[in-house]
Amino acid sequence: MNMNKAKTKKADTGSKSARRNGKRNLKLVHAVKKSAKANARRKAASPPARRGRALMADNMIRTVSPPVQPLVATQDILIRSHKYQVGEIVYFTSPSFGRAAATGSYTVVKLLPSEGDDYQYRIKNTDEAFERVAKESQLDRA
């Protein structure tokens, strides 16, 4: 009989420890489930672009880039500017064809963009009420 008591006591002790271990295991399972739920909530709350980039980076295939041709050495392009400045007095020579314009001293009123190789200027004579457009080749320093 003593032996039976010892066996039952031993069996009870074993069952108690099994129950304790079972409770611990349940606690661990619940903790893991909780953290999984929290992670799922965090992922759902994060901006979609961020999740997309992370997914894209995982699915990205990296390859070797193709060889690149060396750059060709470019020559420096000389940028020409207007020869005369606004307010400068110039001598205008009218062209021999077409309308004969009054040759003489004019003041540069405005710089205009080039037409072909020649820059253009808006010039005005003090004796006239209007302004003319002249090419740089038609002007000389006064």
Neighbour-count burial of 78, counting CB atoms closer than 10 A to its CB (0-12 exposed, 13-18 middle, 19+ buried): exposed
pTM for this one?
Answer: 0.44
Query: How many domains in the chain?
Result: 2
Instruction: Tell me if 133 sits within 8 A of 118, measured CB to CB.
Output: no
Single residue among 59, 80, 106 that ends a domain in this structure? 59
Q: Is residue 66 part of a domain?
A: no
53 and 94 co-located in one domain:
no
pLDDT by position in tens, the chain (length 142): 455 555 555 555 556 666 666 667 777 776 777 777 777 776 666 555 555 555 556 677 777 888 777 776 666 666 678 899 999 999 998 877 766 677 889 999 999 988 888 899 999 998 889 999 999 999 999 7
Domain of 113, in residue numbers: 89-141
